[in-house]
Structure formats: C-alpha cells, structure tokens
C-alpha cells in the first residue's frame, strides 16, 4: 500500500467572515477550524500533512508551529493551483488526500474509505446527498455507479438538477496521477483560476475510473464561509458531541444546550443540566451532577460530587462526594479532598481543603492550606496579598473560623483552634486555643444620629 500524504488548503482570505483573523483560525468548539481538519487527517496516520497557506500565513503558522509542513501560496489562483504549489513537497510514491481547512466536520472514517477506494480507481472524491442541493454542482454516475462528471447548476438540465448528490471538493489520487492531471487544467473560466474539480472531468475523458464515497450526511461537508455558517457548524458539532456523551451513559437535560470546547471524559451515570460549558481537558468521575450554567475548565471532578447552578471551576482538582455552589468560584490551584463543601459566593485560589472541611458562604480563601473537618464562617477572608507579594495561610485540622474573620497572612492556626467571629488575626494561634481579635466595644448613652443633631452656625462655632 502506498504511503499517504495529506494536503489541506487553507490559503483563502475568508472575506465573508468580516474579520482580521484568518478564517481557518476562527474557533469551533474551542479549537481553530483548521485544527479539526488536521485532527481528522491525523487519524489516518499520514506520512506528512501539508498545509497550504496564503492570507495571514504567519498567524496560521504560529498557531500550528511544528505540527505540519507549511507551503505558501504566494498568489491565490484557485484550488488547483494551491495543490500544484504543494505537490513538490509530496513524495512521488504517495497517495494524496486533499482536504479543506474550512470544512471541519468531516469524519476520519469517510476519509479512510476515500483513500482505500484508490485500490480500484484513479481518482476518488467525497460526495454528499442533500435534500435541497440548491445551486451546488451535481454528481453524475454511469450504470456501474462510477462518476462520469460534476455538472455545475447553471449548465445542468432539469433531469440533472433533480440529482441530490453533490461534490464536497475532497479528493484523493496518487501523487503521480494528480500531478499529471493538474498539468492539463487551465484557467479558461469566469474566475480565471485553476480548479481542482477539473481533474475529475479530465480523468473521465481519459477513460480513467473515478469513484465517489458518500459522506454520512450533509453536515460532514459543510463549508464555513461566514459567521452564520460557523454558528451552524458549532451547533452541529455540539449535537454530535452530546450524542457521544449520551451513548456513553451520560444524561443531558437538553442535548441542544451544552457546549464542549475541548475534551470531556465522563464516568457512569453523570447528569449535566442545561447551558453547562466545558473547556480544555475536563474529567468527571461516576455519578457527578452538573447544575445549570456551570463553567468548568481544565479540571477533574471526583465521583459523587455535585455542582449547584452557576459554579465556575478553572484548573481545579475536586475529589469525591464534594458539594460546590451555587455561585462558587474555584480558581487555578484549588485542590479539594473528599466531602468538602464550598458554598455560594465562596472563591478559592491556590487553596487546598482537607476531608470534610466546609466554607458554606461568602468567603475568599487564597494561598491557603486548610486541614480536615474545618469550618470557615461566612465573610472570612485570607488576606494573602500585601500589595507586592502573596503570603500563605496554614490552618490545621478541626479548626472553627467564626463569621466575618480576617486572617492576615502569613499566619498559622493550630489544630482544634477557634477564631471568634469578627476577629482580625495577625499572629499564630496555637493548637486548641481561642483567638479573639476585636476592638473593645463601647456603648455611648444619649447618642443621636447626625441628621437629628441641631445645626451649628459656623460663624459662632468656637
């Protein structure tokens, strides 16, 4: 079997995107469009992936540096010219698969079948069947099912316009055949460009066999040319990912309202409510429940943990049977042990909490190490930043921190210690000690509110 090399066409400007960002770098499910195509091609284990770039070449190159071989198309003269530009970098012994950087939903299985069909044909293309092909080019076949041509809509008869099979543009051929056929095409057309699709007609005219492999559905060959099509591709891909989750045993409150912008790995019997967003690499254990509106990025959540609505996690590690939220925020460096509770309007950053500890509401815990079975009261703040440096707070096991306490770091609180409500703590607290850091209370009899006091004439005031 011949080795495979892939050419991805990504030189277009994408003017309909109305953007300074090259079209193939626009994000789809958290990754650039081109990344999805490279991933699909990579599943075929090609010898080399060549990406033809033009508009915004440096930005595209920077985004994928070291992953692929870049070929610069200095002058954009059509898809055929783009492939001609890349062919000198392709080994003569290879089969070549030509893909498009703005067709991100193509399945690797479809591409593999397209390449495999070269055992019987000189050229193979990926086609798709549309309920309404509109003005797309129609595929014509002979009685053996081999392709006889691609008929443009404006040139098609009524019978040909009734055909629902269209050309995706994705094509495979040996490097030698592709080079030979491309050398015969010309730019005698309205656009004055060299079209890759002309290869099909030339092969048929030379009595060479052309086969077409039908994609599973129209979504696979959807091209993204404007922001409306980008949004359409996003929902199609999210629906595909939702289907994979449900097939793996996850319950979704509404498959149309979930966004996976990276990799989501789930255990058994998880539940995900509406409008949850997963970014980067997220892992869920068994029986995890995600409430509505949660946003989770690059985090691991242990089995049996529940996230109440609108809880935010970023680069956090959460163990088993924890309860988080609602409206909690776990920032990078948060590490929670089993059965920890982090409640509403609690924020953590570079903080670890031991088994069974809890901060149920209205607290900020930064650069803190908290032992097991601790209670952090509402309004507690670890004052970790002095304006220049960050400082740690160390809290032992079984510590009770009363409501509205201010812990001025660096500070240590020993095992079993108790911090009285309303305290400002600035020095170490020993094991099993009570710390009271309040101003002395004074009660003033006969005090009146400022707005109830008689006015004072400034001229007579002494």
Give 52-84 as a DSSP string: EEBTBHHHHHHHTTTTSEEEE-SS---HHHHHH
For the chain, what percent of residues have pLDDT higher than 90?
A: 85
Asked if residue 462 belongs to a domain, the reply is no
Asked if residue 447 belongs to a domain, the reply is no
For residues 194 and 265, membership in a common domain is answered with no
Q: Is 271 exposed, middle or buried (0-12, 13-18, 19+ CB in 10 A)?
A: middle
Asked if residue 441 belongs to a domain, the reply is no
Instruction: Determine the Cα angle at 88 with ends 85 and 93, to 5°.
Output: 130
Position 460 scores a pLDDT of 58
Position 3 scores a pLDDT of 96
As a whole number, the mean pLDDT across the chain is 94
Position 66 scores a pLDDT of 87
For residues 209 and 247, membership in a common domain is answered with no
Structure tokens at 260: 């996976």
Q: Quote the CA–CA distance of 129 and 123 in Å, as a whole number.
A: 20
Give 146-168 as a DSSP string: -EEEEE-GGG--HHHHT--EEEE
CB neighbourhood size of 421 (10 A): 16
Quick one: average pLDDT of 410-436? 97
Position 95 scores a pLDDT of 97
- The residue range of the domain holding 328 is 238-435
φ, ψ of residue 65 in degrees (nearest 5): -55, 125
Position 457 scores a pLDDT of 64
55 pLDDT tier (thresholds 50, 70, 90): confident
Where do runs of H (alpha helix) occur along 12-125? 33-42, 57-63, 79-86, 108-116
Position 418 scores a pLDDT of 97
Helix (H) or strand (E) holding 123: strand 123-129
Q: Which of 119, 74, 132, 71 is nearest to 98 (CA)?
A: 71
> Looking at residue 245, which CATH number applies to its domain?
2.160.10.10
Q: Which of 64, 12, 63 is nearest to 169 (CA)?
A: 12
440 pLDDT tier (thresholds 50, 70, 90): confident
Q: Do 344 and 325 meet the contact criterion of CB atoms below 8 Å apart? A: yes
Structure tokens at 97: 């698969």
More confident residue, 384 or 190: 384
Position 135 scores a pLDDT of 85
- First vs last C-alpha separation in the chain: 105
For residues 318 and 209, membership in a common domain is answered with no
CB neighbourhood size of 416 (10 A): 17
Position 447 scores a pLDDT of 82
Number of compact structural domains in the chain: 2
For residues 293 and 356, membership in a common domain is answered with yes
Quick one: average pLDDT of 67-73? 94
Q: Which of 223, 225, 285 is nearest to 250 (CA)?
A: 285
For residues 360 and 259, membership in a common domain is answered with yes
Position 74 scores a pLDDT of 87
Q: Do 369 and 353 meet the contact criterion of CB atoms below 8 Å apart? A: no
Catalytic site residue from 36, 50, 81, 361? 361
Domain final position from 193, 221, 249: 221
Asked if residue 451 belongs to a domain, the reply is no
Helix (H) or strand (E) holding 343: strand 341-349
58 pLDDT tier (thresholds 50, 70, 90): very high
For the chain, what percent of residues have pLDDT higher than 70?
A: 98
Q: Which of 304, 307, 305 is nearest to 296 (CA)?
A: 307
User: pLDDT tens, 296-355?
Assistant: 999 999 999 999 999 999 999 999 999 999 999 999 999 999 999 999 999 999 999 999
SS3 23: helix
For residues 262 and 173, membership in a common domain is answered with no
Quick one: average pLDDT of 224-246? 97
Structure tokens at 203: 């092969």
Give 249-265 as a DSSP string: T-EES-TTSEEEEEEEE
Quick one: average pLDDT of 359-369? 98
For residues 130 and 12, membership in a common domain is answered with yes
SS3 198: helix
Whether pLDDT at 137 is above 90: no
Q: Which of 235, 265, 271 is nearest to 250 (CA)?
A: 271
For residues 157 and 32, membership in a common domain is answered with yes
> Looking at residue 176, which CATH number applies to its domain?
3.90.550.10
What pTM did the predictor assign?
Answer: 0.89
CA 54 to each of CA 5, 85, 332: distance values in angstroms, whole numbers, following the listed order: 20, 11, 38
More confident residue, 444 or 47: 47
* Lowest-pLDDT range of 63-67, 234-238, 268-272, 431-435: 63-67
User: pLDDT tens, 167-181?
Assistant: 999 999 999 999 999
For residues 279 and 165, membership in a common domain is answered with no
For residues 304 and 274, membership in a common domain is answered with yes
* Lowest-pLDDT range of 54-68, 124-138, 423-437, 439-453: 439-453
Quick one: average pLDDT of 266-272? 97
Asked if residue 228 belongs to a domain, the reply is no
23 pLDDT tier (thresholds 50, 70, 90): very high
Q: Which of 172, 142, 233 is nearest to 5 (CA)?
A: 172
Position 453 scores a pLDDT of 67
146 is catalytic: no
Quick one: average pLDDT of 372-391? 97
CB neighbourhood size of 315 (10 A): 16
Asked if residue 443 belongs to a domain, the reply is no
């Amino acid at each position: 079997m011949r080795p495979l090399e892939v050419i991805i066409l990504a030189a277009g400007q994408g003017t309909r995107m109305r953007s300074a960002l090259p079209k193939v770098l626009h994000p789809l499910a958290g990754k650039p469009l081109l990344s999805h195509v490279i991933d699909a091609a990579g599943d075929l284990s090609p010898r080399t992936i060549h990406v033809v770039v033009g508009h915004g070449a440096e930005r595209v190159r920077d985004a994928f540096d070291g992953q692929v071989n870049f070929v610069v198309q200095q002058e954009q003269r059509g898809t055929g010219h783009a492939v001609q530009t890349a062919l000198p970098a392709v080994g003569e012994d290879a089969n070549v698969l030509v893909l498009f950087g703005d067709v991100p939903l193509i399945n690797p299985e479809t591409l593999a079948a397209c390449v495999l069909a070269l055992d019987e044909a000189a050229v193979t293309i990926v086609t798709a069947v549309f309920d309404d092909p509109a003005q797309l080019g129609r595929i014509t076949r002979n009685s053996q099912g081999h392709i006889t041509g691609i008929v443009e809509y404006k040139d098609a008869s009524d019978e040909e316009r009734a055909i629902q099979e269209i050309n995706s543009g994705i094509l495979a051929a040996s490097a030698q055949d592709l080079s030979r056929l491309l050398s015969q095409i010309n730019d005698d057309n309205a656009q004055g460009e060299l079209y890759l699709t002309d290869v099909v007609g030339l092969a048929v005219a030379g009595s060479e066999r052309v086969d077409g492999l039908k994609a599973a559905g129209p979504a696979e060959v959807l091209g993204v040319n404007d922001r409306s099509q980008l949004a359409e591709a996003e929902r199609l891909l999210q629906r595909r990912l939702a289907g994979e989750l449900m097939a793996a045993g996850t319950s979704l409150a509404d498959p149309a309202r979930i966004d996976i912008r990276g990799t989501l790995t789930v255990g058994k019997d998880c539940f995900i409510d509406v409008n949850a967003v997963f970014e980067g690499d997220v892992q869920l254990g068994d029986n995890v429940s995600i409430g509505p509106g949660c946003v989770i990025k690059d985090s691991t959540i242990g089995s049996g943990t529940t996230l109440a609505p609108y809880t935010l996690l970023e680069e956090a590690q959460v163990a088993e049977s924890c309860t988080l939220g609602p409206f909690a925020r776990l920032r990078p460096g948060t590490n929670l042990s089993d059965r920890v509770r982090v409640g509403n309007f609690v924020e953590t950053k570079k903080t670890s909490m031991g088994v069974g500890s809890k901060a149920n509401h209205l607290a900020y815990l930064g650069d803190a190490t908290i032992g097991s079975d601790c209670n952090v009261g509402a309004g507690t703040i670890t004052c970790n930043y002095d304006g220049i440096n960050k400082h740690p707070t160390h809290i032992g096991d079984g510590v009770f921190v009363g409501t509205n306490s201010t812990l001025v770091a660096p500070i240590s609180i020993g095992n079993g210690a108790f911090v009285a409500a309303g305290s400002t703590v600035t020095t170490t607290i020993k094991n099993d000690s009570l710390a009271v850091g309040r101003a002395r209370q004074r009660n003033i009899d006969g005090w009146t509110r400022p707005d109830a006091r008689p006015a004072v004439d400034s001229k007579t005031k002494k």
